[in-house]
Amino acid sequence: MIQTATRVAVAKYDDLAIRAGYAVKLEDQEIVLFKLTTGEVRAIENRSPHPKGNRLAEGLVSGEYVFCPLYDWKISLIDGKVQAPDKGQVKTFEVEIADGNVYLVF
């Protein structure tokens, strides 16, 4: 059986500021979009993986990483992995851009 992907429009591309978090909520998940200086858009879950948690939408973006605003953990926007010496990972989401809209693909 072939599964087809579901695309959900979550933002207008032009509404996303470069290197600023844009939080969206889908069902029970909060997801944050980041537009990189390259124009690419990345999506990860909007919570830091450290035990106290924190919203990553408020973090600083440098290259393809976001820094947790509370503990300064460096988290990859590509695979969601926290960079050493810290440990952890956040969920990442596939993004598509079409007709000026940003879609999450499930």
Asked if the structure places residue 26 within a domain, the reply is yes
- Measured distance CA(80)–CA(49) in Å, rounded: 10
pTM above 0.85, yes or no: yes
Closest C-alpha among 99, 98, 105, 95 to residue 34: 95
In sequence order, which residues have a C-beta less than 8 Å from that of residue 3 and are 6 or more positions away? none
> Each residue of 3-47: pLDDT tens digit?
678 999 999 999 999 999 999 999 899 999 999 999 999 999 999
Q: Is the pLDDT of residue 69 over 70?
A: yes
Give the sheet arrangement for strand 65-67, strand by strand. Answer: 60-62, 65-67, 74-76
Asked if the structure places residue 4 within a domain, the reply is no
Asked if the structure places residue 59 within a domain, the reply is yes
- pLDDT confidence tier of residue 2, bands split at 50, 70 and 90: low
- Measured distance CA(30)–CA(54) in Å, rounded: 12
Asked if the structure places residue 7 within a domain, the reply is no
Q: Which domain holds residue 86?
A: 12-105
Q: What is the CATH number of the domain that holds 84?
A: 2.102.10.10
Asked if the structure places residue 60 within a domain, the reply is yes
How many separate domains does the chain show? 1
Asked if the structure places residue 101 within a domain, the reply is yes
Residue 1 has a pLDDT of: 66
Asked if the structure places residue 1 within a domain, the reply is no
Asked if the structure places residue 31 within a domain, the reply is yes
